[in-house]
Amino acid sequence: MKSSLSPYFNMLCHPLLIICLVLGIGCLPLWEAALAANLEKVIFIPQWLPQAQFAGYYMAYEKGFYRQHGLEVEIRRGGPHSCAAECVQNFQADFGTMFLTAGIEKRAQGIGIINIAQIVQKSGLLLVSQKKHGILRPQDLMGKRVGLWAGDFQIQPRLFFHKYNLFVKIIPMGEGVNLFLRQGLDATSAMRYNEYHLLLNSGLNPEELTVFDMAEHGFDFPEDGIYCLEETWRRHPSRCRAFVAASLAGWRYAFAHPEETLDIVMRYVTEAHIKTNRVHQKWMLAQLQELIEPPGKAIPMGLLVPQTYRQVAQELQNYLLIKTIPPYEEFYRDCQSDVEKR
């Protein structure tokens, strides 16, 4: 394996730096120039707008972890008008995040997407209703207006409807929960770390809500993972490992220093003109830690467990969302064991 010290050895041998040290003149600007000259530039795009859901990547950037691993990372904004999966597929980004179900679907369609780190190990996706409308069991959703986001977010709810033989009126959803609060929906999609907390902040109490947790109904599908093209891995495996190592370091730092992390997150959301507050982002970060490091499950951060992968892929095949299951060994590249050695 190529030594992780080689980029730094090259920097020490940089002619500008040698001259600087010999003459005893100001070294910092030249050191920074030498460092920048040896960094590999990459583009990363998460699947949504700035928020604590991506705090680990922000901290990896802000604390210099990417640079320490030889990378100059540009973090772009994802969201409804900038699909992370499409950006990776079209060579507009080197790395991106997406749900495991989306990654499996794309691989099964013949797209050369691979998973290089499974960050979120559990599902945080919910369907939420108000008890006052008589919705207490899955069967009570029959014929009701259910809000679903587009794309990957529809997979688990549609499997849920199929499991309970439900026919519902699907209403396309945008951001926020206003449509649900204004009685435009009988049930709304919600992430536990985001929209569910917005509902509580709106004045609704937990006991007033019926929550259908996809994980509790047999669809506990891991969500955010780091993806790249197989071609990127084939041409630059050390770059992929470096990105994973630095990203995991960023997540560990974020969980160990939540207040500092929230300072950074709030700067990112402010720059993006996103309406939120620190209390909500704090909730999000805490909920994400439980999904990334599930209590009682000793899963190394970043690992895609083979059994979990096969269970999710089998569900997708059972419900005819994919025809064949991509082999685990072709879909996932284990950067985790390499990261643990660093």
Task: Give the pLDDT confidence of 49-84 residue by residue, as tens digits.
Answer: 999 999 999 999 999 999 999 999 999 998 877 788
At 9, the amino acid letter reads: F
**pLDDT reading at 254 higher than 90:** yes
Q: What percent of the chain has pLDDT over 70?
A: 87
pLDDT at 25: 54
pLDDT digits (tens, 9 = 90+) for 94-113: 999 999 999 999 999 999 99
Largest CA distance in the chain: 80
DSSP state of 152: G
Task: Name the phi and psi angles at 4, rounded to 5.
Answer: -75, -10
Q: Give pTM, 2 decimals.
A: 0.86
> For the chain, what percent of residues have pLDDT higher than 90?
77
202 token code pair: 């709106």
DSSP string, 200-213: HHTT--GGGEEEEE
- SS3 for 90? coil
Amino acid identity, position 148:
L
- What does the alpha-carbon distance between residue 157 and residue 147 come to, in Å, rounded to a whole number? 10
Give the SS3 label for residue 220: coil
Between CA 207 and CA 320 the distance in angstroms is 36
Least Cα distance to 224 among 112, 111, 342, 78 occurs for 78
DSSP result, 227-294: EEEHHHHHH-HHHHHHHHHHHHHHHHHHHH-HHHHHHHHHHHHHHTT----HHHHHHHHHHHHHHHS-
User: Which of 17 and 280 is assigned the larger pLDDT?
Assistant: 280
